[in-house]
Structure 1
Amino acid sequence: MLMPDPGTLRKLVGEYEALVARQAGSGAVKADRRAQDLAYTLCVSTGTRDVNLALRKARSHIAAAQGPVAPIPLRPTGPGATEPHDTGEAVA
């Protein structure tokens, strides 16, 4: 499954949580349209149907993206070296 950029997820989660907190503080019974749109976007982005599960998956993806980054392997050069092909497979 494709996952959105962790920075994008971070913004969505932050905006959603801020809206929900503001609505809870004001005693609002129903989420406003923007909160509903954010919940929908989070669900679609994480492949879920429940905003609470979407938030958990988004936080998990954000945390994983902050982990160590694997080094990029160097391409061999010289005679007999392979060149990358459009599909990402090596061809001789």
Structure 2
Amino acid sequence: MLVPDPKVVRQLLTRYATLRIAQAEGRAAAVAGELADVTRGLCATMGTTSIHDAVARADDLLARARTDLRRSPEADGEGGLSLAV
């Protein structure tokens, strides 16, 4: 199973949140198209049709990535290669 790059997922989530804030501040018309694009991209990246599911899956992916990073040999100062995502 393919796993999305956590960096890409983080960028999508950040952009989604920024656009939702802009929408809440009354700039809905100015951001509507871009928000729709980012929403579709996040859903496609996370393999969902619901933005709520996409955000939940993205959060889970990023949490796992942080945990894997803490457990990697580099985090312990051992060096070596790691294929953990």
User: Do they superpose with TM above 0.5?
Assistant: yes
Distance 1:22 1:44 in 2: 23
Over 3 Å counting, the alpha-carbon distance change for 1:33 and 1:27 in structure 2 is: closer
Shift of 1:28: 2.8
Could you say what the CA RMSD is over the residues aligned between the two structures, in angstroms?
A: 2.3
1:61 aligned to 2:64?
no
Which residue does the alignment assign to 2:25?
25
Kindly indicate which of the two structures has a greater share of residues assigned to helix: 2
Shift of 1:39: 0.6
Larger radius of gyration: 1
Unaligned runs of 5+ in 2: 74-79, 81-85
Letter in 2 for 1:11: Q
Letter in 2 for 1:38: V
Which residue does the alignment assign to 2:76?
none
Letter in 1 for 2:66: Q
For residues 4-61 of structure 1, the C-alpha deviation after alignment (integer angstroms, 9 at most, x for no partner) is 11011001000011101111111637x6111111111111111100011101100110
Letter in 1 for 2:42: L
Identity in percent: 31
Structural mapping, 1:1-92, within 5 Å: 1-26=1-26, 28=28, 32-67=32-67, 68-71=70-73
Letter in 1 for 2:41: T
For residues 45-81 of structure 1, the C-alpha deviation after alignment (integer angstroms, 9 at most, x for no partner) is 111000111011001101110113355xx9xxxxxxx
